[in-house]
Structure 1
Amino acid sequence: MVRVPATSANLGPGFDTLGLALAIYDELIITGTDAPGVFVEVTGVGRGDVPTDESNLVARSIAHTFRHVGLPSPGLQLQANNVIPHGGGLGSSAAAIVSGVMAAAGLLRGVAELTLDTMLVLATELEGHPDNVAPALYGGLTIAWTTDAGPRAKKLLVHRGVSPLVFVPDHSVSTALARSLQPAVVPYADAVFNLSRSALLVAALTQSPELLLEATEDRLHQEYRASAMPETSSLVHLLREQGFAAVVSGAGPSILVLASDPSQRAAAAALVAGHAGDTWRAVMAAVDVKGATVNPHQVEAKPQL
Structure 2
Amino acid sequence: MRLRAAHVRVRVPATSANLGPGFDALGMALALHDELEVRAVASPGARVEVEGEGAGEVPDDERHLVVRALRAALDHVGAPQTGLHLRCRNRIPHGRGLGSSAAAVVAGVLAARGLVDDPDVLGDDDALALATLLEGHPDNAAPALLGGLTLAWTADGGAGGEGVRAARLPVHPDVAPVAVVPAQHLSTHAARGVLPAQVPHGDAAWQAGRAALLVEALGRRPDLLLDATGDRLHQGYRRAVMPESLALVDALRTRGVAAVVSGAGPTVLALARRTDAPGGAGQDGLPTDADAAVADAFGGVMAGWRVLRLAVDPGGATVRTLLD
Query: Does the alignment reach a TM-score above 0.5?
Result: yes
Tell me if the contact between 2:12 and 2:145 (Cα under 8 Å) persists in the aligned partners. yes
Residue number in structure 1 paired with 2:313: 288
Residue number in structure 2 paired with 1:268: 293
Does the residue aligned with 1:122 lie in a helix, a strand or coil?
A: helix
Residue number in structure 2 paired with 1:33: 41
Distance in 2 (alpha carbons) for counterparts of 1:272 and 1:82: 29
Instruction: Structure 2 unaligned segments of length 5 or more: list them.
Output: 1-8, 275-286
Shift of 1:275: 5.7
Tell me if the contact between 1:60 and 1:100 (Cα under 8 Å) persists in the aligned partners. yes
Q: How does 1:216-235 map to 2 (within 5 A)?
A: 216-235=229-248
Residue number in structure 2 paired with 1:211: 224
For residues 48 and 223 of structure 1, do their structure 2 counterparts lie closer, same or farther at Cα, with a shift above 3 Å needed? same
Does the residue aligned with 1:35 lie in a helix, a strand or coil?
A: coil
Tell me if the contact between 1:17 and 1:145 (Cα under 8 Å) persists in the aligned partners. yes
Q: Is residue 37 of structure 2 the alignment partner of residue 2 of structure 1?
A: no
Shift of 1:298: 1.6
Residue number in structure 1 paired with 2:264: 251
Code of the residue aligned with 1:5 in structure 2: it is P
Shift of 1:294: 0.9
Residue number in structure 2 paired with 1:194: 207
Shift of 1:113: 2.9
Distance in 1 (alpha carbons) for counterparts of 2:91 and 2:117: 28
Distance in 1 (alpha carbons) for counterparts of 2:242 and 2:119: 47
Shift of 1:276: 4.5
Q: Is residue 100 of structure 2 the alignment partner of residue 92 of structure 1?
A: yes
Shift of 1:114: 1.6
With 276-285 and 186-195 compared, the bigger mean Cα shift is at 276-285
Residue number in structure 1 paired with 2:278: none
Residue number in structure 1 paired with 2:179: 166
How much is the aligned-residue C-alpha RMSD, in angstroms?
A: 1.3
Distance in 2 (alpha carbons) for counterparts of 1:199 and 1:96: 30
Shift of 1:273: 4.1
Tell me if the contact between 1:2 and 1:102 (Cα under 8 Å) persists in the aligned partners. yes
Residue number in structure 2 paired with 1:58: 66
Tell me if the contact between 2:37 and 2:88 (Cα under 8 Å) persists in the aligned partners. yes
Code of the residue aligned with 2:93 in structure 1: it is P
Residue number in structure 2 paired with 1:302: none
Distance in 1 (alpha carbons) for counterparts of 2:74 and 2:93: 28
TM-score by length of 2: 0.90
Distance in 2 (alpha carbons) for counterparts of 1:69 and 1:170: 40
Shift of 1:74: 1.3
From 119, 124, 128, the counterpart of 2:127: 119
Code of the residue aligned with 2:83 in structure 1: it is G
Distance in 2 (alpha carbons) for counterparts of 1:196 and 1:112: 38
Q: How does 1:143-182 map to 2 (within 5 A)?
A: 143-147=151-155, 148=158, 149-182=162-195
With 60-69 and 149-158 compared, the bigger mean Cα shift is at 149-158
Tell me if the contact between 1:5 and 1:291 (Cα under 8 Å) persists in the aligned partners. yes
Distance in 2 (alpha carbons) for counterparts of 1:201 and 1:184: 25
Residue number in structure 2 paired with 1:24: 32
Tell me if the contact between 1:42 and 1:82 (Cα under 8 Å) persists in the aligned partners. yes
Does the residue aligned with 2:236 lie in a helix, a strand or coil?
A: coil
Shift of 1:73: 1.9
Distance in 1 (alpha carbons) for counterparts of 2:117 and 2:219: 34
- Identity in percent: 55
Shift of 1:194: 0.5
Tell me if the contact between 1:163 and 1:265 (Cα under 8 Å) persists in the aligned partners. no
Q: How big is each residue's C-alpha offset from its partner over 1:163-183, in whole Å with a ceiling of 9 and x where there is no partner? A: 100000010112101101100
From 142, 145, 167, the counterpart of 1:137: 145
Tell me if the contact between 1:95 and 1:136 (Cα under 8 Å) persists in the aligned partners. yes
Distance in 1 (alpha carbons) for counterparts of 2:31 and 2:150: 15
Tell me if the contact between 2:132 and 2:138 (Cα under 8 Å) persists in the aligned partners. yes
For residues 107 and 284 of structure 1, do their structure 2 counterparts lie closer, same or farther at Cα, with a shift above 3 Å needed? same
